[in-house]
Structure 1
């Protein structure tokens, strides 16, 4: 095998050997080629005995390997690799259960030898290696409604500098407006999505204050009623203002609620009460 820094190829070996056959000293020919005299002497000795066949690189692998893993064991390692899709460390225990004792380093070399050391060698697109998607949804429309608010920057009419480029007319107009104290500002997208049907209602509002959220919730409930969802049993949100709005909406109906808290604390509260608490 030729490495990337090899100065000569078999053809180069042949040409140097022919120069020596022509009467040139080996040391002079080696110096001209930029290699050691001993190296050229090694190739020239092969040339004299074997001809051009002796100028080919030979494998450094020994003729016999008495300690090499048995082929049947290698076949079993490859089969377990394809079946379980785990690495050498995990395969050590699996093989030990079958009475085959191999270190992880040996298993890794076996996998490399059979081109199975990488997961993409087992499955090109990775479809079989992905974790199964765990999805959930409530049984009926209205059982749970997700509520959230997204704050996004307002885009000027006609687009901003990302579309037209810096230095464009639109960019200069925006810069002048900023200098005058006018800014594009932000818009707040209030959204309510039914967990079962995925029916969604969204409004673009000026803020996320409690009064704004309360008005949106009333309009969202009306929207869901027009589409057949006459009753909303639960609402889930992580927005502080929305928690207050939903608590006031649920209180007349006698609904239990959990105070705003991190997910870890909320889960512990629901677990100790053995029931789902609506926000």
Structure 2
């Protein structure tokens, strides 16, 4: 042990290692290089994920602070997101849970949305959540002719495009303003996602919007609203 060899107590050694960011064994393991990949055609790979959100029934502790906010638990709702790998065109829906029925419903809604844009979905990538391992999900993918891939365990970065989209949505939509009810937040989502798809310029697309990218690449964008 380090403390024994140096003649120091364990707490002193731990404090020094913690200051250097070396207090855990995993800190000594080199980080895996980030492998970025881009599919050529829209629909070749969709990234799907879910974000748990607290329901809103009045202004909560994020705005008023924990002491001022009234203690209550309004429950949860779940933001299901889907991002096309090639075009970054995104589709979202707020559903009551993350169970297999909601996951399958969202998959069907997403496929229908991309079909309206002239995109045929070939593959989807998800994490290893229970809903994505269910027979209902498997059967829905088979029915729709979609190949399903799951991320490696403990490797959320594999689905990084969905993860990044969720972080952006949280910063610019979910926590960007004060909502007094979940209905207000849901209504704001429709406006935000439309702006993201039709106006926002993305560096990964050469500083153009997902809708513009689809137009430039020969896709007929029929409808941007989910």
Q: Shorter-chain-normalised TM-score: which range?
A: 0.3 to 0.5
Higher relative contact order at CA 8 Å, sep ≥6: structure 1 or structure 2?
Answer: 2
More strand by share: 2
More helix by share: 1
